[in-house]
Homo-oligomer: A and B are copies of this chain.
Amino acid sequence: MKINIHKNVFNTNEEYASEVKKILKKYNIKTFNLLSSPGAGKTTLLEETLKLLKDEYKCIVIEGDLATDIDRQRISQVGVESYQINTVKGCHLNAKMIYELLNDIVLNDIDFIFIENVGNLVCPAEYNLGEDHKIVILSTPEGDEKPLKYPVVFRNSDVCIINKTDLVKFVNFDIEKIKINLKKINPDLTTFFVSCYTKEGLNQWINWLKNNKEG
């Protein structure tokens, strides 16, 4: 049995985030912090992403969840190493959690770390984890007005994935309206329209990840 005892080495979340950033830079690892409402499809997107990346790149996944490791088990079945952080009642991951985890694992040869944050479109947006990019995922059944209603997460992210585009014809979601609303909140956002069911748009997203790694 291994017991890890961690002291508070730093004081603020930003200090921990900046330390995480240094570690990731040292090992040349690209890290993405995935943010969305519960059920927007973060885990399914990760499964599809990992299937397309894992033969070429070493990936690991950090799963944030209040209470279970259901998502981590799904990631394991894709054949990718994954680590669980349970926040119990906590509504977001913080940089200290990531810092402590990185100190416990071997970082050599890792190309990508994907962090699946707690499903919450509000709180996680305010906590840097030392990641390279925040990725916000919005699924079409949630509605095209969400960038206006939850502006912080869309403003703080570099990429937006509009997920479940296969459901557009069954729900109240207008592709032109979402483009306008995203532009209003964050004109610099890179947006992908993806369906993990039909695989539409996955290649563009994967290419963006690869360019990000190689660039």
| Assembly CA distance A167 to B167 (angstroms) | 9
Structural contact, A122 and B37, CB atoms closer than 8 A? no
- Which one, B141, B146, B152, contacts A139 given CB within 8 A? B141
Q: CB of A45 within 8 A of chain B?
A: no
Given A38-B142, A65-B149, verify A121-B122 contact (CB < 8 Å): no
**What size tier do the contact residues of chain A reach?**
20 to 34
Binary CB contact string for chain A from 164 to 192 against chain B (1 if under 8 A, 0 otherwise): 10110011000000000000000000000
**Given A70-B145, A139-B141, CB of A121 within 8 Å of CB of B38:** yes
Report the minimal beta-carbon distance from A140 to chain B, rounded to whole angstroms: 9
Asked if A80 CB lies within 8 Å of chain B CBs, one says no
- The answer to whether A142 touches B89 (Cβ under 8 A) is no
Which residues of the partner chain B approach A67 to less than 8 Å between Cβ atoms?
Answer: 148-151
Nearest B-chain residue to A121, judged by Cβ: B38
CB A94 to nearest CB in B, in angstroms, measures: 14
**Is A39 in contact with chain B by the CB < 8 A criterion?**
yes
Q: Are A68 and B170 in touch, CB under 8 angstroms?
A: no
Known: A38-B121, A121-B120, A139-B39. A89 touches B146 (CB 8 A): no
Given B70, B118, B150, which contacts A119 in the complex, CB threshold below 8 Å? B150
CB closest chain-B residue, reference A65 = B149
Q: How far is the CA of A145 from the CA of B67 in the complex (A)?
A: 12
**Assembly CA distance A89 to B141 (angstroms):** 24
Q: Does A70 contact B148, Cβ atoms closer than 8 Å?
A: yes
